[in-house]
């Protein structure tokens, strides 16, 4: 296990941790959370330093950190350099033990006959023959197709290199895995695959992520960094939020009680300190004050408090695509697209990586012309368009205040500073050139510039990629109160579920309304993957035979050990005699008895789902109250949103349970045939 005992760490003259103590055990899945700058990356760097790896050395000022000497760590770095190494080879290098043995077996010039036997034995012990298949499966899960395996790493964009880096990390035979924002460059289908992978991993995982749904689906503990303290909570992120709010409420009550006690003691000391008869009692109260532990008042948690302005005017439709073919260089990627954006549109776009979601977005905003069909926009349209490109083209030399001044005309500096403060640009950050900003700060500044321009249509392509949990929460609340149209592409399921009223699926060149919610989309993806895996199985076997020269295969080892080809025998299934009607009735009764527990589970789960659905419907009625989105009722809204998220998670969990039970029943019934 990993154990921190009274750990204190200072960096650049600033105290990050003081008296940190906790234990993490093998098999734990831990979410590391905390505001930016509280020390999450430093905690990772400290663990890497103690395990003799990492680029940044962190030393302890106090306490001790214990990690088993035999443990191996895998860390997902944030940068991947350009290299001519092929993608599949780069991913395989994550399994250092396999990579070293495989290299030796492919170059036997300096290896003795005795060593060859030892290498093959080691290769067999680590199940090395299946390692290339494992690498291909990880790459497929993260969105790579087989045609990309032999491409050089330097040929991929930055986001795809990060996926390769994640794949390399997942290939490691690690006891401890440190993942820093692994979902930042993933789309939703890759995130859902990663959740499954993490849940199946047997070692200890510590993950930094701003994706609440991802944390809820993967972790069973939260390690929270706040005010130089590190607190370990049991449960997923939603449970952590609930527990922490309870602690904060208790802390606030204790603080208020302590302040009242202090005031009473101060008043006694002030009144009686000079009186000889009361001097001893006054001194006693002074010492009592000195002994009292300082409690901090509950602080407002979220520094972001922006909202979208009401649009000036709108007509309907605002954007319209009719029978449109959309693509590049006269080659359509999407066919016969029919999309209408009206003032009350709240549309989420779903689809696998490469299906054409961003292509559709570009057509809707006019960046990409249609190849056929019609594209119309209203004269009243005022577009707010967010994508990665908008962040990248910010004036690097300009400060937030300077960029706002270009848009704001005669608006006073005080008003602009107040507006920027709602996006947490305060103090020196308002006058800092944007080239010095982090990805999250650039994203917030881009959103601030969009909000100021009072759009009536928001087209958002992955707006949360660089945003932390607090900013995502603020963006969700702001979008819920926005009175214009919204078209959204996002891998953040919480954002889609809380903002979008309808979902469109982009798949196989078509755009169709998706009949279901975001959890249903996860099931749709799983079914599609299952179909693709069964279709590709035969062609994959043929491909593996062709690639046997590069990676040592079991067939290669067998040919070195023996010249005789193995023989395979087949047995015909014996014909079973027909059963009498009485025997059939008895068999049917026995089958019903065996399947009864599963059927009961299905019935109970369906009842639970119905109850949760009723609660969600009641919540939606409450959330429809427009007065709820006023600034004064922000706390009420947050409570309802948290309750809605918890119920949605319960609904999703129970649906998964129902699906598993129904699958079990089908398998049992099939076994009786």
Q: Could you read off the pLDDT of 29-46 as tens digits, one per residue?
A: 999 998 777 888 889 999
N-to-C CA span, the chain: 49
pLDDT single digits (tens) 92-117:
999 998 988 888 887 777 777 778 88
The rounded percent of the chain whose pLDDT value lies above 70 is: 81
Quick one: average pLDDT of 275-286?
62
CA dihedral 38, 43, 44, 49 (to 10 degrees): 140
pLDDT score of 631 more than 50: yes
The pairing of strands 62-66 and 229-234 is: unpaired
Strand order in the sheet with 319-328: 331-341, 319-328, 372-377
Residue 274 to residues 184, 264, 270, 638: CA-CA distances in angstroms?
65, 17, 8, 52
Greatest mean pLDDT among 131-135, 611-615, 664-668? 131-135
pLDDT-derived band of residue 574, with 50, 70 and 90 as boundaries? very low
The secondary structure of the chain in percent helix, strand, coil, rounded to multiples of 5, reads 50, 15, 30
Give domain limits for the chain.
319-515, 610-673
pLDDT single digits (tens) 646-664:
787 787 778 778 777 877 7
pLDDT-derived band of residue 375, with 50, 70 and 90 as boundaries? very high
Looking at residue 634, its pLDDT comes to: 65
Between 348-357, 390-399, 560-569, the lowest mean confidence (pLDDT) is in 560-569
Residue, of 373 and 619, whose pLDDT is higher: 373
pLDDT-derived band of residue 621, with 50, 70 and 90 as boundaries? confident
Q: Which of 213, 311, 232, 26 is nearest to 644 (CA)?
A: 213
Is residue 456 a contact partner of residue 314, using CB atoms and an 8 Å limit? yes
CA distance 359 to 391: 18
Quick one: average pLDDT of 388-414?
88
Q: Is 662 helix (H, G, I), strand (E, B) or coil?
A: helix
Residue, of 270 and 347, whose pLDDT is higher: 347
Looking at residue 576, its pLDDT comes to: 45
- In the 8-state DSSP scheme, what is residue 568? -
DSSP E strand boundaries for 67-106: 73-75
Q: Is 120 helix (H, G, I), strand (E, B) or coil?
A: helix
Quick one: average pLDDT of 78-87?
78
CA distance 414 to 416: 5
Looking at residue 301, its pLDDT comes to: 54
Could you tell me the two tokens for 196?
């499954």
Residue, of 284 and 381, whose pLDDT is higher: 381
Residue, of 307 and 392, whose pLDDT is higher: 307
CA distance 126 to 92: 14
E strand or H helix at 20: strand 14-24
- In the 8-state DSSP scheme, what is residue 591? H
Is residue 493 a contact partner of residue 213, using CB atoms and an 8 Å limit? yes
Instruction: Give the up-direction half-sphere exposure of residue 333: CA atoms within 13 A in the CB hemisphere.
Output: 18
CA distance 135 to 43: 29
pLDDT score of 421 more than 50: yes
CA distance 215 to 232: 15
pLDDT single digits (tens) 197-230:
999 999 999 999 988 889 999 999 999 998 889 9
| Average pLDDT of the chain, as a whole number | 82
pLDDT score of 532 more than 80: no
Residue 114 to residues 110, 111, 594: CA-CA distances in angstroms?
12, 8, 56
CA distance 516 to 345: 17
Which residues, other chains included, contact 239 with Cβ-Cβ below 8 Å and sequence gap of 6+?
233
pLDDT-derived band of residue 570, with 50, 70 and 90 as boundaries? very low
Is residue 435 a contact partner of residue 403, using CB atoms and an 8 Å limit? no
Looking at residue 550, its pLDDT comes to: 54
Which residues, other chains included, contact 159 with Cβ-Cβ below 8 Å and sequence gap of 6+?
185
pLDDT-derived band of residue 401, with 50, 70 and 90 as boundaries? very high
Which CATH code fits 319-515? 3.40.50.300
The pairing of strands 176-180 and 331-341 is: unpaired
Q: Which of 522, 476, 484, 531 is nearest to 503 (CA)?
A: 522
Looking at residue 138, its pLDDT comes to: 93
Looking at residue 567, its pLDDT comes to: 34
- Residue 20 — left, alpha, or beta (φ > 0 → left; ψ -120 to 50 → alpha)? beta
Beta bridge partners of 229: 226
Helix axes 469-481, 634-672, angle to 10 degrees: 100
pLDDT single digits (tens) 133-171:
899 999 989 988 888 999 998 888 778 888 999 999 999
E strand or H helix at 488: strand 485-489
Between 262-271, 278-287, 335-344, 423-432, the lowest mean confidence (pLDDT) is in 278-287
pLDDT score of 366 more than 90: yes
Between 75-79, 419-423, 630-634, the lowest mean confidence (pLDDT) is in 630-634
The rounded percent of the chain whose pLDDT value lies above 90 is: 35
Looking at residue 292, its pLDDT comes to: 56
CA dihedral 409, 414, 416, 419 (to 10 degrees): -150
Looking at residue 565, its pLDDT comes to: 36
pLDDT-derived band of residue 339, with 50, 70 and 90 as boundaries? very high
CA distance 383 to 450: 9
Could you tell me the two tokens for 149?
């395996």
Looking at residue 654, its pLDDT comes to: 80
pLDDT score of 537 more than 60: no
Looking at residue 275, its pLDDT comes to: 61
CA distance 229 to 42: 13
Strand order in the sheet with 502-507: 383-386, 457-461, 485-489, 346-350, 502-507, 510-513
């Amino acid at each position: 296990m990993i154990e921190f005992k009274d750990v204190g760490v200072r960096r650049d003259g600033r105290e990050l941790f003081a008296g940190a103590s906790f234990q993490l055990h093998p098999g734990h899945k831990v979410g590391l959370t905390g505001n930016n700058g509280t020390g999450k990356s430093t905690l990772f760097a400290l663990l890497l330093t103690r395990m003799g790896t990492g680029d940044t050395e962190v030393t302890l000022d106090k306490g001790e950190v214990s990690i088993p000497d035999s443990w191996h760590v895998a860390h997902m770095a944030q940068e991947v350099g350009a290299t001519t190494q092929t993608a599949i080879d780069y991913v395989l290098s994550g399994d250092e033990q396999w990579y070293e043995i495989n290299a030796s077996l492919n170059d036997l010039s300096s290896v003795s006959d005795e060593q060859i036997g030892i290498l093959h034995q080691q290769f067999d012990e680590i199940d090395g023959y299946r390692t290339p298949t494992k690498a291909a499966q990880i790459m497929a899960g993260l969105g790579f197709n087989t045609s990309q395996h032999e491409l050089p790493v330097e040929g991929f964009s930055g986001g795809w290199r990060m996926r390769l880096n994640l794949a390399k990390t997942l290939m490691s035979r690690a006891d401890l895995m440190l993942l820093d924002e692994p979902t930042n460059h993933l789309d939703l289908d890759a995130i859902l695959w990663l959740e499954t992978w993490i849940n199946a991993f047997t070692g200890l995982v510590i993950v930094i992520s701003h994706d609440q749904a991802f944390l809820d689906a993967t972790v069973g503990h939260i390690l929270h960094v706040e005010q130089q303290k590190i607190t370990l909570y049991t449960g997923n992120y939603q449970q952590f939020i609930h527990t922490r709010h309870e602690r904060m409420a208790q802390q606030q009550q204790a603080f208020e009680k302590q302040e009242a006690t202090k005031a009473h003691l101060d008043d006694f000391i002030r009144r009686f300190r000079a009186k000889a008869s009361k001097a001893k009692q006054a001194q006693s109260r002074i010492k009592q004050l000195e002994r009292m532990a300082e409690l901090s008042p509950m602080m407002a948690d979220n520094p972001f408090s922006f909202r979208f302005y009401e649009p000036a005017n709108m007509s309907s439709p605002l954007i319209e695509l009719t029978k449109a073919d959309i693509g590049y260089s006269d080659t359509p990627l999407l066919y016969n697209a029919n999309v209408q954006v009206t003032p009350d549109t709240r549309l989420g776009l779903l689809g696998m990586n490469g299906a054409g979601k961003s292509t559709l977005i570009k057509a809707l905003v006019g960046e990409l012309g249609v190849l056929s069909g019609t594209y119309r926009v209203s004269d009243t349209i005022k577009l707010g368009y967010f994508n990665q490109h908008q962040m990248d083209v910010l004036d690097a030399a300009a400060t937030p205040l300077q960029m706002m001044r270009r848009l704001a005309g005669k608006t006073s500096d005080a008003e602009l500073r107040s507006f920027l403060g709602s996006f947490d640009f305060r103090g020196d950050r308002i006058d800092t050139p944007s080239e010095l900003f982090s990805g999250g700060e650039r994203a917030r500044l881009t959103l601030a510039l969009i909000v100021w321009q009072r759009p009536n249509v928001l087209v958002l392509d992955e707006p949360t990629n660089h945003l932390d949990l607090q900013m995502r929460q603020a963006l969700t609340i702001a979008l819920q109160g926005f009175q214009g149209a919204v078209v959204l592409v996002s891998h953040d399921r919480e954002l889609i579920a809380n903002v979008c009223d309808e979902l469109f699926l982009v798949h196989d060149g078509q755009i169709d309304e998706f009949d279901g919610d975001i959890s249903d989309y996860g099931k749709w993806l799983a079914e599609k993957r299952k179909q693709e895996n069964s279709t590709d199985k035969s062609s994959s076997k043929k491909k593996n035979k062709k690639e046997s020269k590069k990676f040592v295969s079991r067939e290669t080892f067998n040919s070195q050990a023996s010249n005789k080809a193995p023989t395979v025998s087949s047995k015909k299934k014996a014909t079973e005699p027909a059963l009498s009607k009485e025997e059939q009735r008895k068999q049917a009764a026995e089958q019903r008895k065996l399947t009864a527990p599963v059927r009961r589970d299905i019935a109970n789960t369906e009842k639970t789902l119905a109850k949760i659905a009723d609660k969600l419907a009641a919540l939606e009625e409450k959330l429809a109250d427009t007065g709820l989105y006023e600034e004064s009722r922000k706390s009420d809204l947050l409570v309802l949103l948290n309750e809605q998220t918890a119920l949605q998670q319960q609904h999703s969990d129970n649906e998964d349970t129902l699906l598993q039970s129904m699958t079990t029943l089908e398998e049992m019934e099939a076994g009786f045939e």
